[in-house]
Homo-oligomer: A and B are copies of this chain.
Amino acid sequence: MSIGVGIIGAGVMGADHARLIRSHVSGAHLVAVADTDPARAREAAADARISTDPLELINGPEVQAVIVASPDHTHGDFVLAAIRAGKPVLCEKPLAATSEDCLRIIDAERTAGRKLVHTGYMRRYDPTYRELNATLKAGTLGKVRILHNQHRNRVAPDWFTPDMAVTNSFVHEIDISRWLLGTEFKAVTVVACGSDRPDVAADPLLITLEAENGALVSTEVFLNAGYGYHVHAEAVCERGGVRMGQPALTSVLFEGSDRAAFPANWIPRFADAYRLQDQAWVNAIHSGSLDADASSSWDGYMASYIAEKTLEAFKTGQRIELQVPRQTG
């Protein structure tokens, strides 16, 4: 009883989800791919059918579950359509264009009477973050007092706007920090490294989140770190700390140094995370519930809300307080 999955969007992420569902995830198979570009859809779909109409795909009878990997601004509408069709949906981050749109999704899910939305903050399935999280949850170290995150890209893509350091990169840090700490945040401050070139954005940003329980989260987002893709986390607690090791499995002894390679970008770094996320999503559909570790619609909302406030802190130079309603769902 394999689940038929339909995918909207056949870009980098959509094609990767298609590959995973086709060849690496047990208990599901790919039935359809929708994209405005039929050739691209065909390449991702392999033997599955293709479509240029996402809503037609969502409502197709053979589609039992939907992955949304279309352009960011379209996410919200497709997720709402999937909820209306009563189908589980895994939506690439962000969940919607604005936090207000995310709230509409939460409402729709509440109306549907069932949690159908899994927001694709895939780091929760990364073996390294999971090992770190398991150590924190084991309790030996006590409560987290400070979490340091580093999010470094070799070079920002051409199409990155200054805001995207927050809305595209930092959102991952928001989601994973909430998951690791299990607490909400009450304030955010941003200090930016000044650029001496007017055409170059401030980079890196140093973003501090203050948690309701007193803990701090300090995150460096550096889009042009020059040397490689480097995501790192270290949590220091009351009685000790835990941190990520070098991401490389091997090191090379060459020309005078011992060299451990960084991944080229997020795709090799989080390949396992995407696979494990998609497998957990499929397993959860089989069991009729949302995966316990999934980033829910509420989590998707929180990430978008805090990102919006972080942008405000960045632009005003002020410490911005966060107003977090208690989750009622």
Contacts and interface: CB of A to CB of B under 8 A. Distances in A.
Given A24-B26, A191-B208, A254 B227 contact: yes
A208 to B, nearest CB: 5
Contact of A246 (B216, B258, B264): B258
B252 A240 contact: yes
A128 B247 CA distance: 11
A108 to B, nearest CB: 32
A325 B52 CA distance: 60
A113 interface: no
Given A26-B25, A245-B249, A240 B215 contact: no
Interface string A233-258: 00011111111111011111111111
A141 B214 contact: no
Interface string A165-207: 0000000000000000000000001011111100000011010
Contacts of A227: 239-241, 253-257
Interface string A196-232: 1000000110101010011110101010111110100
Contacts of A204: 145-146, 216, 236
A259 to B, nearest CB: 4
Contacts of A206: 146, 208, 216, 218
A260 B241 contact: no
A193 B226 contact: no
Interface-central residue, A193, A262, A264, A279, by most chain B CB under 10 Å: A193
A65 B253 CA distance: 43
B239 A203 contact: no
Contact of A253 (B145, B146, B192, B241): B241
Contacts of A239: 226-227, 254
A287 to B, nearest CB: 12
A118 interface: no
Contacts of A196: 213-214
Contacts of A218: 206, 218, 220
Contacts of A191: 189, 208, 210, 216
B240 A255 contact: yes
A6 to B, nearest CB: 18
A107 interface: no
A27 interface: yes
B132 A254 contact: no
Contacts of A146: 193, 204, 206, 220, 222
B246 A242 contact: no
A241 B256 contact: no
Contact of A258 (B140, B195, B250, B260): B260
Given A240-B255, A245-B249, A257-B259, 10 more contacts: A127-B249, A146-B222, A148-B220, A196-B214, A206-B208, A224-B238, A240-B254, A243-B250, A253-B262, A256-B261
Q: Which 9 interchain pairs have the tightest Cβ spacing?
A: A194-B214, A241-B253, A240-B254, A257-B259, A227-B240, A226-B239, A128-B249, A227-B253, A258-B260
